Structure 1
Amino acid sequence: MSETLRGDCANCFGLCCVALPFARSADFAVDKSSGEPCRNLRDDFRCGIHTRLRPSGFSGCTVYDCFGAGQKVSQITFGGVSWREAPETAHLMYEVFPVVRQLHELLRYLTEVLALPAARPLHDEAAEALARVEELTRGTAYELEKLDVAAVRARVNPLLLQASALVRAAAGGTARNRRGADLIGARLRGAKLRGADLRGALLIAADLSGADLSLADLIGADLRDADLSGADLTGALFLTQPQLNAARGDAATLLPEGFERPSHWAGRC
Structure 2
Amino acid sequence: MPPSPLVSTAWLADHLGDPGIVVFDTTKYLPNEPKDGLGEFRAAHIPGARFFDIDDVADPETDLPHMVPTPGRFAAKMAALGVSNASFCVFYDQKGLSSAARGWWMMGLFGHDAAAILDGGLPKWRAEGRPTAEGDPAPATPATFRPDWRPTRVRGVGDILANLATGAELVLDARAAARFRAQAPEPRAGMRAGHIPGSANLPYTELLAPDQTLLPPDQLRARLAAAGVDGSRPVVTSCGTGVTATILTLAMTLAGLPAGAVYDGSWTEWGGRPDTPVET
Larger radius of gyration: 1
Higher relative contact order (CA 8 A, sep 6+): 2
TM-score by length of 1: 0.29
Higher helix proportion (structure 1 or 2): 1
